[in-house]
Amino acid sequence: MKFKVVRVLTNPKKDYASVVEKIAAFLLKNGVQIIYGEIPNPKEDLVISLGGDGTMLKAAKTVLHRDTPILGINLGNLGFLADIKAADIDISLIELESGSYKFEKRMNLRLDGSSDALNDVVVMPRLSFRVIHLLCFVDGVFVTEIVGDGVIVSTPTGSTAYSLSAGGPIVRPEMELMIINSISPHSLSLRPLIVSAKSAVNITLCSESAFVVTDGQTAKKISKGDEIEIVKSPDYTTLLRLDSIDYFSTLRTKLKLGDKKMRTGCDGCKKSSRCYYFSMRDD
């Protein structure tokens, strides 16, 4: 195994002792030094995240500016970023040992020149039952006003997170672009907008106050007249992805994209014996 020092990060609110013991035994067998917790070590060359996507996002914060890869094992619910299922840990560790993996660079957003986000930056009302009024600019050009529950500026990685729930598009995570998506707007004509990763998105608050939230984890208050700027970060997050996992299988499995129960047209097809699509059906 090429990794020498591995940090294991877990959700402190969950008891993952049995899983941690299994992974620790595997790493020690391969002569790997193990570190635990949220504090990074300059010698670490891999972070294993145990939990859900929230734990993955926390792991991404701890390796910012350092390009240390993250391997996500999903012990939560949906787990789109952390795509290894608990039932597949044993075979996944074998793949890791054999080198059957690749690294994926994921674009980040940078908020006001300081805070980075792997998934999204969200402007939302300070009180959940109030709408807010925002103005949106791209590269200094006025685009639209937004009156509603806020706005999401998302990366391709974050396209399957909050943005998707608000009606945004699914975007392959290795692409570089930004999705501007209003939340429950008071206008039927407002639709998600995709802009270049080279653009600068500026949001001005016209209401009395609001919160700006990065990756659902850190929030800051802004007041009437304040403007935030969102651009592509110069830093990337590196994910370790096993060769056995492909993006579209994850979409079909976790988001039920194209429910297999609807596939009735395969019956009697002459190509069924050698068709991948047919073999994936639920009979």
Catalytic amino acids? 53
Q: What are phi and psi of 29, to 5 degrees?
A: -60, -30
Query: Do 46 and 68 contact (CB within 8 A), yes or no?
Result: yes
How long is the chain?
283
Q: What are phi and psi of 278, to 5 degrees?
A: -65, -40
DSSP string, 104-156: EEEEEEEETTTEEESSEEEEEESSTT--EEEEEEETTEEEEEEEES-EEEE-S
Query: Residue 224 has what DSSP assignment?
Result: T
**Which helix or strand (DSSP H or E) is residue 277 part of?**
helix 276-279
Dmax (CA) for the chain in angstroms is 65
